[in-house]
Structure 1
């Protein structure tokens, strides 16, 4: 992710989130969904860089020239998942028809008393993970989130569900504190969720093939998994239209502790394997991709390499900072 994109101005911030929350709560989901059309049109017209990034990505994933209608559908899909966030975070889970795949693999770890790392992405809705509270009310989902980086979303979470807000692991802490918090959650048998597809400026990352060209993926989450020896499951909450989602879990790593000398090759293999699975699901649900910037742009400043000891400490904070959705909601 380029520094220039991170500096894109917010287009509403707290007010935009408050507005969509209010419409959803008081007007109902049906009324709010009607309003998504003018919202989509506004962003389609006003947000040129995001519109161009959308068209570039869609051309890759659809393997054809993307039309303006494709871009509008892409924006509308994102807006729909943001609206649904209001209901998912407020515990109104029964509004949604969620098909779950791979739940047996997750149950196997949890029944053995093992905590797990759930590695997600900005593909689909990560909040749909909340339906796990119906399947495993005995297990807590802890999300790594930089509260200070997105205060509007933090306020929304506090207002909608203070109980969920209390389970957030704040990525604004120093690196060792974050790793310790994750380790304590894993040791307690919890699920710890992170988004692992965005590498920020200066963050240690590795390049892997993705949709026809190499893209940068952050190293820190995989380093945490290797150091803690925690099992990793990939999680994809794919929006299928209306009130339908597919929540897919894929076992990815069984949680072996990797000796320091072997971490470089092992992390490279894991990141490349993750990019392959991410590409698979992106092709299956192309309009669910919510990285509205040039995902394949990467610097040559040395950040896209194995992490140094200093980056090992700072890395988890950078990884957590990618949890909140940038792009059209924060910046539009």
Structure 2
């Protein structure tokens, strides 16, 4: 991975095929054991993401070098687990998973207002699997706003093998058609989830203090949160056990705020979550430019 995020998700079609096969025929436990070898290989040879994480742990969180190296290895392994968990849900192998939801009532309150809801999250933990845990419990539909830049062959294989994601995807387009799609989803009292932690080179950004260092955050998610007449909450889902997740939501923002004000509140909450789950920071590039 490069110093800057380019909007693309890495992965190999062969890797997806192998893990889908093992999950289907040998179960999650076997897939996790296989992951230990696979992720150790990445720890040894994936130099750029390893270097980015070491910098983050040592120079941002001020973790001693030996502990930081152990944390990088743990990070790679848990990230692999979240990918396996996602595939397991899509394959219907999800009965052994449990979860707890801190402040679930906030999302119920948002739903009951009838204006839809905007959920700002980050690449920390695994919101997609957690969303699957809540499928139909709070809302029948969650829309994910994202750059549609995944490798096409992998996406096609996942759809053929598992039926695809259980979420609606709102792809960000140059013609701004995604703004209309977001508006329509909120009018239908649906939730719209946006990751607000990855700045794409060339896009508008806001620079903020994050864990004591200057970092660029994408401006778009905070504009969306400020412009629509819908409650806004920050949601996170971290793996807190072999087959369990901890979900959380913040008190909804219901009054009008400027994008910069929402961004500052978001960054404060993200800092708290990173300190709580440093091993689940899944941004494998130099976050501080």
Q: With structure 2 as the length reference, what TM-score do the two structures score? A: 0.90
Aligned-partner SS, 2:266: helix
| Corresponding residue number in structure 2 for 1:303 | none
Cα deviation 1:163-201 (Å, max 9, x = unaligned)? 726x22223x33421000011001001111111100010
> Offset at 1:130?
1.6
Q: Structure 1 230/242 Cα, relative in aligned 2: closer, same or farther at 3 Å?
A: same
Q: Structure 1 248/7 Cα, relative in aligned 2: closer, same or farther at 3 Å?
A: closer
| Corresponding residue number in structure 1 for 2:24 | 25
Cα deviation 1:209-248 (Å, max 9, x = unaligned)? 1111011110101112222222111110111131121011
1:40-55 → structure 2 map (5 Å cutoff):
40-55=39-54
Cα deviation 1:74-93 (Å, max 9, x = unaligned)? 11111111111112334444
Q: Indicate yes or no: 2:124 matched with 1:132.
A: no
Aligned-partner SS, 1:168: strand
Given that 1:116 and 1:190 are in contact with CA atoms closer than 8 Å, whether structure 2 keeps it comes out as yes
1:279-318 → structure 2 map (5 Å cutoff):
279-297=271-289
Given that 1:61 and 1:211 are in contact with CA atoms closer than 8 Å, whether structure 2 keeps it comes out as yes
CA distance in 2, matches of 1:101, 1:119: 16
| Corresponding residue number in structure 2 for 1:267 | 259
CA distance in 2, matches of 1:14, 1:80: 17
| Corresponding residue number in structure 1 for 2:184 | 184
Given that 1:169 and 1:178 are in contact with CA atoms closer than 8 Å, whether structure 2 keeps it comes out as yes
CA distance in 2, matches of 1:49, 1:2: 7
Given that 1:61 and 1:286 are in contact with CA atoms closer than 8 Å, whether structure 2 keeps it comes out as no
| Corresponding residue number in structure 2 for 1:205 | 205
Aligned-partner SS, 2:251: strand
CA distance in 2, matches of 1:224, 1:130: 24
CA distance in 2, matches of 1:267, 1:209: 16
CA distance in 2, matches of 1:179, 1:90: 32
Aligned-partner SS, 1:155: helix
Aligned-partner SS, 2:125: coil
Q: Structure 1 50/99 Cα, relative in aligned 2: closer, same or farther at 3 Å?
A: same
Q: Give structure 1 stretches of 5+ with no counterpart.
A: 259-265, 298-332
Q: Structure 1 83/162 Cα, relative in aligned 2: closer, same or farther at 3 Å?
A: closer
CA distance in 1, matches of 2:165, 2:9: 31
> Offset at 1:100?
0.6
Q: Structure 1 2/33 Cα, relative in aligned 2: closer, same or farther at 3 Å?
A: closer
Q: Structure 1 209/191 Cα, relative in aligned 2: closer, same or farther at 3 Å?
A: same
What is the alpha-carbon root mean square deviation over aligned residues? 2.4
| Corresponding residue number in structure 1 for 2:122 | 121
Aligned-partner SS, 1:114: coil
Cα deviation 1:271-307 (Å, max 9, x = unaligned)? 122111101011001101000111012xxxxxxxxxx
CA distance in 1, matches of 2:92, 2:208: 37
CA distance in 1, matches of 2:92, 2:226: 33
Q: Indicate yes or no: 2:26 matched with 1:34.
A: no
Q: Structure 1 74/210 Cα, relative in aligned 2: closer, same or farther at 3 Å?
A: same
CA distance in 1, matches of 2:17, 2:232: 34
Q: Report the count of equivalent residues.
A: 285
